[in-house]
């Protein structure tokens, strides 16, 4: 028992060592979006709804970046564990090049079709106009947004979580300052309103992508760029990344009909949902995202070092830590829901709905505690299909299916939507839990590493 406890504490110490820079990074990420929402809330509820709807499309470069980042962190952590630095450098170089290229068509679509995209969701004309201007600016920075995400994951795979933190905190500080200064017209700066909020995001994402590229290219980090010359690496990157891109896209695409469903209950309900969503992301996002990334790093490196049993133990130990801390965060959301929601709006109707959505997300934190470290462990091994299946089936079956069936067809209204949200996250946990306990993810990682070792390019 003493030996078991010592192993658990060792994993927890390593997890916390890797996680705290990621948690700070994610805190500033969510703080940046929270400031955007707070500043936007000073304009009108329509502006809040517009930014919330525009962010559905703005998630496209995010999902592409995180998807490619999952491939980068899997290969980077595994090759770091087995000491294959040349192969690792070629892999992350390919990931960055693919990411930048993938962002170009996203920018073109954003600059030409932003308002029609918002109108597709059934928004009112003033929401369409406001959201279209904001969306065009955000998507203009799509290539550099993806590069920043992939570069950060590549560095994290080596165990360097501090460099991405420094870059991201600096970029988000610029974003926050620009949003407040340009959005509200402080000092000598012009008052640009929603355009200022979008411009702040575009500037900061461009700075972030450029800074992470410079960090990799210099001696500041252990990584460096290598000339791509192995099709095996390309194939593995695509094979690992595509399910994760699809996973994120399935969630993002489901948000379109889900938000259309919310709009049938009124603009104030839609705004309230986005306030509740932003509230839980600000309170708990730094935790569950850092646990997910840390699990990918630890499991990937231990598999690379030929220790699958230790990788399995570490994944479970990190999950226990995650459930404890996220359970506490969920309790805070439930108890202080009204106070937290009140930071975003003073409209009575919107505030009441927002507090309820915040409590719903607070209950869901229990399931988040299981899902994110387990899915991160699977991704570190190169298994991105199981988390994809979990999200796809849960989102379609519960977030959309249950919410519409119970809320609209059976006439229970918003309580049906609340149930759909909670059951969605519970289902995610069931699927990835089964995949982690009984899946062949360790063999998957071993096969991938064997292929890369036999192909020197």
pLDDT of res. 196:
83
pLDDT of 400 reads 93
| Separation of first and last alpha carbons in the chain | 48
Least confident stretch, 210-224, 225-239, 435-449: 225-239
Between 412 and 124, name the one with better pLDDT: 412
Whole-number average pLDDT of the chain: 88
Confidence of residue 456 (pLDDT cuts 50, 70, 90): low
Give percent of the chain with pLDDT exceeding 70: 99
Q: What are phi and psi of 455, to 5 degrees?
A: -115, 100
- Map tokens 């759909």 to a residue: 420
The pLDDT, as a whole number, for residue 99 is 92
Q: Is the pLDDT of residue 365 over 70?
A: yes
pLDDT over threshold 60, residue 457: no
Are 391 and 399 spatial neighbours (Cβ–Cβ below 8 Å)?
A: no
Q: Find where tokens 């997910």 sit.
A: 292
The predicted pLDDT at position 283 comes to 80
pLDDT range class, residue 56, cuts 50, 70, 90? confident
The residue-averaged pLDDT of 179-191 equals 81
Spatial contact of 107 and 240, defined as CB atoms under 8 Å apart: no
The tens digit of pLDDT for each residue in 248-297 reads 878 777 877 898 898 888 878 888 898 888 888 878 888 898 999 999 99
For residues 198-212, give the mean pLDDT.
91
pLDDT range class, residue 370, cuts 50, 70, 90 = very high
Dist. CA 39–CA 199, nearest whole Å:
13
Q: Is the dihedral of CA 146, 212, 98, 20 positive or negative?
A: negative
Statement: residue 2 has pLDDT above 90: no
* pLDDT over 70 at 315, yes or no: yes
187 DSSP assignment: T
What pLDDT, in 10s, does the model give residues 320-360? 999 999 999 999 999 999 898 888 777 888 889 999 999 99
pLDDT in the model for residue 298: 93
What is the 8-class DSSP label of residue 222?
Answer: S
Lowest mean pLDDT among 157-171, 222-236, 421-435: 222-236
Give the per-residue pLDDT at 234.
Answer: 83
C-alpha to C-alpha distance for 113 and 239, rounded to whole angstroms:
31
**Of the ranges 16-20, 78-82, 182-186, 362-366, the best mean pLDDT one:** 362-366
Which of the four pLDDT bands, split at 50, 70 and 90, describes residue 96?
very high
| Per-residue pLDDT band at 441 (split at 50, 70, 90) | very high
- The per-residue pLDDT for 4 is 79
CB–CB of 372/15 below 8 Å? no
- Cα separation, 454 vs 445, in Å, equals 14
Query: In this predicted structure, what is the pLDDT of residue 381?
Result: 92
Please tell me which residue, 106 or 274, carries the higher pLDDT value. 106
Contact 147, 62 (CB under 8 A): no
Does the pLDDT at position 130 exceed 60?
yes
**Which class for 338: exposed (0-12), middle (13-18), buried (19 or more C-beta within 10 A)?**
middle
């Amino acid at each position: 028992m003493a030996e078991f406890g010592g192993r658990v504490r060792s994993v927890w110490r390593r997890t916390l060592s890797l996680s705290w820079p990621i948690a700070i990074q994610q805190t500033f990420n969510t703080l940046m979006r929270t400031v955007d929402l707070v500043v936007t809330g000073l304009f009108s509820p329509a502006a809040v709804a517009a930014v919330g709807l525009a962010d559905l499309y703005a998630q496209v470069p995010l999902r592409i970046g995180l998807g490619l980042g999952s491939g980068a962190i899997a290969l980077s952590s595994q090759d770091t564990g087995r000491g294959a630095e040349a192969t690792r450098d070629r892999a992350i170089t390919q990931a960055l090049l693919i990411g930048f290229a993938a962002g170009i068509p996203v920018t073109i679509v954003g600059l030409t079709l932003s308002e029609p995209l918002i109108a597709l969701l059934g928004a009112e004309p003033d929401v369409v106009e406001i959201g279209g201007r904001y969306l065009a600016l955000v998507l203009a920075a799509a290539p550099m947004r993806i590069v920043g995400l992939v570069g950060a994951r590549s560095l994290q795979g080596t165990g360097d979580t501090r460099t991405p933190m420094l870059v991201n905190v600096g970029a988000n500080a610029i974003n926050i300052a620009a949003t407040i200064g340009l959005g509200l017209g402080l000092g000598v700066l012009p008052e640009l309103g929603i355009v200022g909020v979008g411009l702040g995001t575009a500037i900061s994402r461009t700075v972030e992508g450029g800074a992470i590229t410079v960090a990799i290219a210099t001696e500041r980090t252990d990584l460096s760029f290598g000339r791509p010359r192995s099709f095996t690496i390309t194939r593995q990157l695509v094979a690992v990344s595509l399910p994760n891109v699809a996973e994120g896209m399935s969630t993002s695409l489901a948000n379109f009909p889900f938000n259309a469903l919310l709009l049938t209950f009124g603009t104030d309900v839609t705004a309230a949902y986005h306030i509740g969503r932003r509230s839980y992301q600000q309170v708990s996002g730094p935790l569950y995202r850092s646990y997910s990334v840390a699990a990918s790093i630890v499991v990937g490196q231990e598999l690379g070092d030929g220790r699958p049993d230790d990788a399995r133990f570490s994944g479970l130990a990190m999950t226990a830590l995650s459930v404890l801390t996220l359970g506490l965060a969920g309790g805070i959301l439930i108890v202080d829901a009204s106070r937290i929601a009140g930071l975003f709006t003073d409209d009575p109707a919107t505030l009441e709905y927002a507090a309820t959505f915040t409590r719903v997300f607070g209950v869901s934190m229990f399931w988040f505690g299981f899902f994110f470290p387990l899915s991160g462990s699977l991704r570190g091994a190169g298994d991105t299909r199981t988390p994809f299946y979990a999200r796809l089936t849960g989102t379609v079956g519960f977030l959309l299916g249950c919410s519409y069936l119970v809320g609209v067809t059976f006439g229970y209204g918003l309580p049906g939507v609340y149930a759909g949200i909670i059951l969605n996250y519970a289902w995610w946990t069931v699927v990835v839990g089964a995949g982690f306990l009984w899946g062949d993810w360790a063999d998957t990682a071993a096969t991938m590493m064997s292929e890369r070792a036999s192909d020197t390019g």
